[in-house]
Amino acid sequence: MNNRFLNYLKDKCKYKSGQRVLVALSGGADSVVLLHQLVSLKVGVCAAHCNFNLRGDESDGDEHFVVDLCASLGVKLFQKSFDTKGHATENGISIEMAARDLRYAWFEKLKEAEQFDWIATGHHKDDSIETFFLNLARGTGIKGLSGIRPVHGHVIRPLLQFSRSEIVQYCSVHNLSYRTDSSNLESVYLRNKVRHQILPRLMELNPSFMDTMETNMKHLDQVSRFVKGSVEEIKKELVVEQDGQMLISLQHIHRFVDKNLVLFEILHPYGFNGAIVNELVESIENNVSGKQFYSKEYRLIKDRFNVILLPKEENDHNERFYIEIDQNEIDLPIKLKLDKGIEANGYKIDKSSQVAQFDEELLNYPLAIRKWQQGDQFRPLGMKNFKKLSDFFIDEKFSLKDKEDTWLLISGDDIIWVIGHRTDDRYKITKRTNSLTKIQYGH
């Protein structure tokens, strides 16, 4: 393993002799092996441990373990404690995303302050394959199917060529202790579902599945690099940048059969997902002008001759935000929490205006959130006929400010909830409902 590790470190991770490395040390088998290998190779190394305070005594036990490990190896250790739940709530993101943001932000600060050349993480082959399936489930371009890269910015992953079983075997051979995170065994996290439920089934079909997937991802990475080069050439023909805007010529776009692919590869770096690109292409093919599309930081305007990309203004009011099928909460543009897969039998309807309940089988993802537009209509819960939103606002005595502040939840082309006010009768829970989705506003 030593020679394979060193060759990968130099060839794939671009490490050069004499450079300093900061190891992200959780106490798990992968990070323990990573630190042990670097110390064995006499690499200038320090370690950094995050206590996310998510598992009580277990988190504190991890911290005590890494302190003792670094002392035994003569490695300097940096430690930091985080209020991860508080950060997640404040920013309206998942616990997993909050932990990721906190640790990498701290690692970057340490790198600059202590003048490290690299930040090394213990990601291995199994992690890369799991990431493939996560990206596949969420929707991604070709790049997202290439697995984890050995180098990303200042972060290197020297263990990517090793499987989890090889890492555990290395610990056994070298009598290395490590900590096991109990949350890795819980199926509540999507990655754990892939790890414990999906991959074992695929390995039943093909015992060499993990090696096969590694080969597949290498091929997809080659395709990704080829596509990236091709897109760069296409951009020279399609795209003109002027006055802080990017203009994409409709005349040239019409020449491509695969408009979705070309536009996705151009626009994905600006935060536009596949659903938005598909809607953009539909407006192009139907020659609809004036339509706007939004990502977190940018907006697109489709006019008669171009698709115009520009930074989003603070006071844009025509945004359309999407909720993907794997998201359980959002914070932009409003806070919503989704509880899915609730058994309908015996469920007691929550009558709060801040809560909506829908027959889960009727929902069409991605759901969308937008402001109301002239001509909008829905079928208010308890009614058999459609009602214009403008009339609904009058009946409910909405002020102009109330109307401007109201958001709509959309499934397909249907308004299913005037958020905080009334749901649509077509999506209600009935005797035929097997499972439901409960959505809380302002959680």
| Mean pLDDT (whole number) for 390-412 | 88
Closest C-alpha to 436, from 348, 373, 352:
348
pLDDT of 154 higher than 90: yes
pLDDT of 11 higher than 90: yes
| Mean pLDDT (whole number) for 105-120 | 96
Q: Are residues 162 and 41 in the same domain?
A: yes
pLDDT band at 370 (very low <50, low <70, confident <90, very high): very high
In one-letter notation, the amino acid at residue 200 is: P
Q: Which residues contact 24 (CB under 8 A, 6 or more apart)?
A: 31, 47, 48, 50, 103, 107, 119, 120, 121, 122
Q: Residue 266 and residue 215: Cα distance in Å, rounded?
A: 27
Q: Are residues 332 and 304 in the same domain?
A: no
pLDDT of 311 higher than 80: yes
Write down which residue in 311, 332, 348 finishes a domain.
Answer: 311
**Per-residue confidence (pLDDT) for residue 185, from 0 to 100:** 54
Q: Are residues 265 and 306 in the same domain?
A: yes
CATH number at residue 190: 3.40.50.620
Please report whether residue 231 resides in a domain.
no
| Mean pLDDT (whole number) for 322-334 | 89
Task: Please say whether the dihedral angle defined by the alpha carbons of residues 5, 64, 154 and 145, taken in this order, is positive or negative.
Answer: positive
**Per-residue confidence (pLDDT) for residue 314, from 0 to 100:** 53
pLDDT of 188 higher than 60: no
Q: Which two tokens stand for residue 178?
A: 């490590």
Q: Which residues contact 7 (CB under 8 A, 6 or more apart)?
A: none
**Per-residue confidence (pLDDT) for residue 306, from 0 to 100:** 87
Please give the helix or strand (H or E) that residue 127 lies within, else none. helix 125-138
**Per-residue confidence (pLDDT) for residue 181, from 0 to 100:** 78
**Per-residue confidence (pLDDT) for residue 38, from 0 to 100:** 97
pTM of the model: 0.61
Please report whether residue 234 resides in a domain.
no
CATH number at residue 351: 3.50.40.10
The CA dihedral of 247, 252, 257, 258, to the nearest 10 degrees, is: -20
Instruction: Report the number of distinct structural domains present in the chain.
Output: 3
pLDDT digits 0-9 by tens, 240-267:
887 778 999 998 898 888 899 889 889 9
Q: Can you give the residue range of the structural domain that contains 258?
A: 243-311
pLDDT of 131 higher than 70: yes
| Mean pLDDT (whole number) for 127-148 | 85
Of 9-13, 79-83, 399-403, least confident by mean pLDDT is: 399-403
Q: Are residues 131 and 264 in the same domain?
A: no
Q: Residue 364 and residue 414: Cα distance in Å, rounded?
A: 10
